[in-house]
Structure 1
Amino acid sequence: MLNKKKKQKVIETIIGKETVIEGNIKLPTSLRIDGKVYGEIKCEGNVYIGKHGYAEPAIEAKNIIVAGEANGNIIVSEKIQIHAGGKVSGQVQSGGLIIEEGGLFNGNSTIHTPNKHTKKSTESKNKAI
């Protein structure tokens, strides 16, 4: 019974409301930003930007949830969600984009999806040759 428990998503790093970071951040877990980050963020987990949080010029993460503000180049392997009152400006590449009523997105978005048919088609063509 104990082995069947789901892994809980843990935020190990929190940037507080009064904190300002100038520089790059790279971490293997999730991150919550309630302060300001001026630098590239590379996160293997999720990035949560709180109501008072701000981040620029680049974020790369599994998922991004924005209640505050994010500007710049954003690359998300799964999805980005903009909450009511959240603002995102810039270039976004993701597997999905969710904008709640009252959320703001200014920029360009590219949605990527895994294409299983392309790989099979290529393999079939290579076998025939």
Structure 2
Amino acid sequence: MFKDKMRSITTDTLIGQGTVAEGKIICDAGIRIEGEYRGDIECTSDVIIGECGMARSNITAQDITIAGIVYGDITARGRLTITASGQLHGVLHAQSLIIHEGGTFSGQSQMDKHQPAKNRPLAADTQESKDEAGKKARQAV
């Protein structure tokens, strides 16, 4: 019972400015990075990369806010926000995307509310869509 109270989701993890950390983080609590972090982050809560923060990471979380710099792939089960000072260089998968004026995004993006983007075939790759495209092309002639 005492251990359950210790594992509170409301406790946030902070990697402070001037700190350099490396490894893999798997957690339920929110994370804020103001220093430098290298490694994957898997979080069931929210991740914030602060204005002084830099992450060379693949990040998976509920909502992600980038005010610093991220080099890596992002998977937000909810919303990804890139603030005016934020930079993302990588591939993003999110249900919702907000990029404030001045924010930088360099890479590829996929947005899907229903299925993870990795598992869903592209419409052009399915046999049904190929057959349908062929019918439309023949009708146009």
TM-score (norm 1): 0.79
CA distance in 2, matches of 1:14, 1:28: 13
After superposition, where does 1:36-115 map in structure 2 within 5 Å?
36-114=36-114
RMSD across aligned C-alpha pairs, in angstroms? 1.4
Tell me how far 1:10 sits from its aligned partner: 3.9
Q: Computing the radius of gyration over CA atoms, which structure comes out larger, 1 or 2?
A: 2
Tell me how far 1:94 sits from its aligned partner: 0.6
Tell me how far 1:11 sits from its aligned partner: 5.0
CA distance in 1, matches of 2:15, 2:62: 18
Tell me how far 1:91 sits from its aligned partner: 0.5
**Amino acid in structure 1 at the alignment position of 2:53:** G
TM-score (norm 2): 0.72
5+ residue gaps, structure 1, are: 1-8, 116-129
Summarize the Cα distance change of 1:52–1:11 in structure 2 as closer, same or farther, 3 Å threshold: farther
Paired residue total:
107
CA distance in 2, matches of 1:11, 1:33: 14
Q: Deviations over 1:48-75 (max 9, x none)?
A: 1100001123000001001101111111
State the 4+ residue runs in structure 1 displaced beyond 6 angstroms.
none
